Structure 1
């Protein structure tokens, strides 16, 4: 009888301990980042497989592509959906949400929410999955500059997600993903033999203005905002201060380099149509 009671008490204690561990895990700060990162990686895999299946059925030109082109076709579908997702979230937090409003007390550089952290985690998951593909097929999906871009993005976004520091500036930078769907569409038009079409020309013009706004003017606004709130920015830890200042600066240089290429490409495209 005594042994039975001790066994029952042991089981009860074990159940209570297990429930407490589960509760602590669910409520832990690491739960949202971990699940969102895994979700981002898993979503990338699902989109890749779905794109492969749907494209083979509904796009006749897909079968005529080389193996590497089909891989890139599927990969660009992932980046397009991620761009739509993170751009929508970023625009909401930067321009419509009250989370980073100056009207409320407290440092805007230290504000975060469960939603803002979750969205950044999904983005980290995407960048990890995409970087993995870039390295696996290197340099077919992108050269050295793409590796640098993704490493900087992962470092900055992951830090903001894990610490809650500088999330506002991280979302400002992520708005630049607005240009990704247009860039991907341009590749699709080229791959399907529509490089001389009117849609290709229109796409080039749209990319030019989207890049100018999202990757040049917006970054100027970011640095201006950074300057106005420097008294708050300087209170970040050294790593956070380095990331919110250096990463946008490096990306600005890369954006300007790519913008020069876009302008040259647009000029050639327009010249061929005349």
Structure 2
């Protein structure tokens, strides 16, 4: 015997099924990615502490806050390597943002790109929490501002799927982080006059120029050339794409000038010696 089907109940059932199988499932993946990013930070922090205590004799003589910063920089290095590899792959190699695909490039995303952003969000949350907890030992207000701005952009791009191409272009700038951290490690270890310190300074200059100056200029050019697609995004996304890269670029130029002055000073000192 056939029973009459209530159209309202049927639509409600389909809506609940869609919510359960797709929206909530994706949300769980994003939550897992964020928690995974936080866990990655915890593990890399502890592993840095363990390895340094065994293989670096001077680690035991460091003050507690220096040990915390040492471990924190190991943590940020792991994230930088991860996000640089993933960003370069997604932007230049995956084909996700290729011109061969139909549709606006500003609305493209994938499960992998969302998951990667989730991991990065987890890192920014963990690192920002440490900066606040030990403020200002791990960084001043410029670090707080940089992390909050990066966190907001990453969260919005992850949840909305808009502007991920530009988010990943900005995240490629994390490629400079390992060099910055290595320079700090060498300084603390008393290796400021070593050849490694000089090579590191030159490498920092080159990577910063490419990843934080030239790439940002290309990002602005890409936004200008694809403005018809950019303006289709939500108002918040358009605001973030306009403001965040501009502010970060200004900060990059200021820091780059300091790197250049430091490199000139080091080279001049070497020339005198």
Same fold by TM-score greater than 0.5: yes
Distance 1:62 1:25 in 2: 49
Aligned counterpart in structure 2 of residue 187 of structure 1, from 184, 187, 211: 184
CA shift, 1:190, in A, is: 0.2
Distance 1:191 1:92 in 2: 34
CA shift, 1:27, in A, is: 5.1
Partner residue, 1:15? none
Partner residue, 1:265? 262
CA shift, 1:95, in A, is: 0.9
Distance 2:128 2:263 in 1: 28
Aligned counterpart in structure 2 of residue 228 of structure 1, from 200, 225, 228: 225
Aligned counterpart in structure 1 of residue 141 of structure 2, from 122, 141, 144: 144
Partner residue, 1:72? 69
Matches within 5 A, 1:11-160: 24=21, 28-160=25-157
CA shift, 1:99, in A, is: 0.7
- Contiguous gaps of at least 5 residues in structure 1: 1-19
Matches within 5 A, 1:234-253: 234-253=231-250
CA shift, 1:29, in A, is: 2.9
CA shift, 1:21, in A, is: 11
Across the aligned residues of Structure 1 and Structure 2, the Cα RMSD in angstroms comes to 1.6
- Note closer, same or farther for the CA distance 1:134–1:273 as it changes in structure 2 (3 Å cut): same
Task: Deviation per CA, 1:151-202: give whole Å up to 9, x if none.
Answer: 0000001100011000000000000001000000000000100001111011
Q: Would the aligned equivalents of 1:40 and 1:122 in 2 still touch at CA under 8 Å?
A: yes
Matches within 5 A, 1:152-171: 152-171=149-168
Q: Which runs of 4+ in 1 moved over 6 A?
A: none
Q: Number of paired residues?
A: 255
CA shift, 1:219, in A, is: 0.2
CA shift, 1:258, in A, is: 0.3
Distance 2:127 2:195 in 1: 31
Distance 1:162 1:67 in 2: 38
- Aligned residue for 2:26, secondary structure, equals coil
Distance 1:27 1:177 in 2: 31
Task: Deviation per CA, 1:36-76: give whole Å up to 9, x if none.
Answer: 01110111011111111121111111112111111111000
Partner residue, 2:214? 217
Q: Would the aligned equivalents of 1:25 and 1:31 in 2 still touch at CA under 8 Å?
A: no
- Contiguous gaps of at least 5 residues in structure 2: 1-16
Q: What TM-score do the two structures reach when normalised by structure 1?
A: 0.90
Task: Deviation per CA, 1:88-129: give whole Å up to 9, x if none.
Answer: 010011111111111111111111000000000000000110
- Note closer, same or farther for the CA distance 1:21–1:234 as it changes in structure 2 (3 Å cut): closer
Task: Deviation per CA, 1:190-246: give whole Å up to 9, x if none.
Answer: 010000111101110110011000000000000011111110000000001111111
